[in-house]
Structure 1
């Protein structure tokens, strides 16, 4: 029998209950109203004022402190070097599974941060725009791997984040349409001198494989200042994905331009079978093999419960 005293389990994170995290809002003012939340929410990812007050206002307050500290460090470095250079944007990553609510989180944080008293310029970019065009995916037999690391134009994404962190005054990014399920060939979004860039996507915290030739290879995550991972149990993610697919079948899929229009024209049973297959064959393997392994790289982990509400927050210790 081992009589040695058990050491407390150590973790790189401090864990907060919803109530404990909500208390960290302090006196941060609410700058959004119900109309804003209706505009910022996503299909099948409800968000209400209590969620913003208890979860997102403390996050915005924390990020504001982090950004201010980074700016102070920048000014100190400039004084040391004796010259002035362009301040580089602070990059926040929002990662997690399909259907976990990344888009809603990213949009709410952008709205809150943009209305901070210092009024920073905040831009939101999704990595969907850096997916390879469908024509390329079909040619490379990758349509069934869309969303996996190999389905992205990684070099273009790396150039984008590298230019952002180099302080380039104007940077552009490709635009993706969920309606036509493809990158729009003649559209780009322009980003000019932002203070904060929120980068949202499945792959933003991934590192990829090291080159076999031994060279140093940069990853998107190397350019991230603060990473957020939205977490939930697999059965919940499964249910949310299927529910979203079936709701889209009654809404967006009805659009004549929708890539998925055919699923609005089949029986409910057939559409449900398709949704289950897409989850089992594409989204679940991608979650297990590529997305969830990036969770330990996050600075903040938001754990969602059954009703989409965030029930636990884990903040990386400094």
Structure 2
């Protein structure tokens, strides 16, 4: 396990002892089953040992952030107003970012009942497939240049400026494209969780990091060989569920030769997702405030907290 040096690392058992007085009393096993991403796993033990201490840590960061906003307003002799606290969650395709994001949204909503907690993914900022084809980028989907980063940065600036009713394009994994005229609405949240493979990246044609807007960031990590296994296992589940829906992107593979479909998926992993991970995603890991490292069966075995 090759992890960055600028972190304090804790075993699962050590991390679980931090603020152990915070007991899990807001999440049920049924809710976890609904939260877990396709082919991911999570249970109440994971929540108690990993996410309850993380919830408390986020509370510390949130209080500090709110105090800083108030003090800066006082310094400038302005009327204080609350700006949203942004949490970024990054990591490879198929590593379980969505599960972490949805669970944190649930935990924070239950813990801070007077706060509006919203969640978006950066998938909605991918260029539509038609535009990717026009630019010759369809085979580079997921790489930095396949995202409308100017739109994403503008969106984050609008969120921090407390703009109401911001429309975010919606992406569908079923059709493998942006949904025409489909939007999610982000409306002045107190806490916004932004999940995506690119939330810690800096495209070459931009002056700002997306992560400049985040007040806390998390990288979900695992050995690439494990992630490949999870990716292919997820693909098999998608094949098993797509064969009855001709509109599903995976239908064409579900009704064809399964071995050919799996060979295609393995090629996509090696030539697209693994390359993207090695060249663009993994190098951003040391920008995160927290690293959640996973091992077999998506079990988090190590937590890294940034030193500085």
Q: Distance in 2 between matches of 1:300 and 1:252?
A: 36
Check the 8 A contact 2:70/2:81 in 1, yes or no.
no
Give the Å deviation of 1:60: 1.1
Match status 1:16 vs 2:15: no
- Equivalent residues in 2 for 1:160-171 (5 A)? 160-171=155-166
Determine the C-alpha separation between the residues in 2 that align with 1:67 and 1:119. Answer: 13
Asked if 2 retains the 8 angstrom alpha-carbon contact of 1:103 and 1:200, the reply is yes
Shift of the 239–55 alpha-carbon distance from structure 1 to 2, 3 Å rule, reads same
- Structure 1: distance between partners of 2:168 and 2:155: 7
Q: Distance in 2 between matches of 1:70 and 1:253?
A: 49
Separation in structure 2 between the aligned mates of residue 164 and residue 221 of structure 1, nearest angstrom? 14
1:126 aligned onto 2:121:
yes
In the other structure, the counterpart of 2:85 is: 90
Query: What is the distance in 2 between the residues matched to 1:35 and 1:12?
Result: 38
Q: Answer yes or no: is 1:145 the counterpart of 2:140.
A: yes
TM-score (normalised: structure 1): 0.92
| 1:68-126 deviation digits (Å, cap 9, x = unpaired) | 11111222222232221432111101000011000000000000001114532111010
1:276-315 Cα offsets, whole Å, 9 max, x none, are: 1110111110000110010011110011001111000000
1:15 match: secondary structure: strand
Q: Find the counterpart in structure 1 of residue 57 from structure 2.
A: 62
Q: Is 2:243–2:255's contact at 8 Å kept on the other side of the alignment? A: no
Separation in 2 of the partners of 1:192 and 1:147? 27
RMSD: 1.5
Q: Quote the residue 1:307 is aligned against.
A: 297
| Counterpart pick for 2:266 among 276, 298, 310 | 276
Runs of 4+ off more than 4 Å: none
Structure 2 residue 187 is matched with structure 1 residue 192:
yes
Query: TM-score w.r.t. structure 2 length?
Result: 0.95
Contact 2:35 2:99 in 1 (8 A): yes
- Alignment match, 1:109: 104
CA contact (8 A) 1:246 1:271 kept: no
**What runs of 5+ residues in structure 2 fail to find an aligned partner?**
none
Aligned in 2, Cα 1:282/1:254: closer, same or farther, shift over 3 Å?
farther
Q: How does 1:161-310 map to 2 (within 5 A)?
A: 161-209=156-204, 211=205, 217-252=207-242, 254-310=244-300
Q: Which residue of 2 aligns with 1:29?
A: 23
CA distance 1:49–1:16, change in 2 (3 Å): same
Structure 1 counterpart SS, 2:297: coil
Q: What are the superposed Cα offsets for residues 105-157 of structure 1, whole Å, 9 maximum, x if unpaired?
A: 00000000011145321110100000000000111111111100000111111
Report how many residues are paired. Answer: 304
Structure showing greater radius of gyration is: 1
Deviation at 1:16, TM superposition (A): 0.3
